[in-house]
Amino acid sequence: WTNPVPGTHNIIVVLSAADGHDLGNNKYEQSFTIKAPLNKVVMIDGSHNNENSKQDTGTYKDNFKLFTTLMKQQGYTVAENSSPLTEQVLKNVSVLVVTHPATAYSASEISEINNFVKNGGSLLLTEKSNFGASNQNINSILSGVGSSILVNNDGIFDETHEGNFWG
């Protein structure tokens, strides 16, 4: 269903047996609602071999499936970018998502991200904690948008029984 019509829809399924057997009352009805498009684009950047993007060749490649599905269900358009960030690339974007980039962003890309935020765009940055084994390519973006927050190679651990501390 490529272009669903916004509104409430009903699906009715009735099973019948080709061999004539009586299947009894087997009518199933389900109502669901398609939200109208919000005309807001959430763009996941993959231009720097970012984790959680299609360019990710590691184990995190499919981690954003649930995120993208939920955003689409709420009426957002989700896109993925593989080109350097420019004013044109960010032109119709509402939210820019940058996840753990493998390579650093250029000064011009950081300037474009800063302009994007100054002009009302939203920026979602995600990083990971690998305790000494991770780059900090997000820091140049954070500094470029005027943030005093920085990421480093510290680790955060939940050592309780309910936590996920290496086993």
The pLDDT value given to residue 156: 64
Tell me the H-state helices in 82-132. Answer: 107-118
Q: How many residues does the chain have?
A: 167
- As a whole number, mean pLDDT of residues 70-82 equals 93
Check whether 64 has a pLDDT greater than 80.
yes
The pLDDT value given to residue 127: 85
Give per-residue pLDDT as tens, 46-63: 999 898 888 777 777 778
Per-chain mean pLDDT for the chain: 88
Alpha-carbon span 95 to 122, nearest angstrom? 5
* Position 165 confidence tier, pLDDT thresholds 50, 70, 90: low
Check whether 6 has a pLDDT greater than 60.
yes
Alpha-carbon span 109 to 97, nearest angstrom? 14
Give per-residue pLDDT as tens, 108-128: 999 999 999 999 999 999 987
Q: How far is CA 65 from CA 30, 35, 129, in A?
A: 25, 19, 21
Cβ atoms of residues 34 and 72 within 8 Å: no
| Residue 25: both structure tokens together | 């009352």
The secondary structure of 66-92 as a DSSP string is HHHHHHHHTT-EEEEE-SPP-TTTTTT
Tell me, rounded to whole angstroms, the distance of Cα 59 from its chain centroid: 16
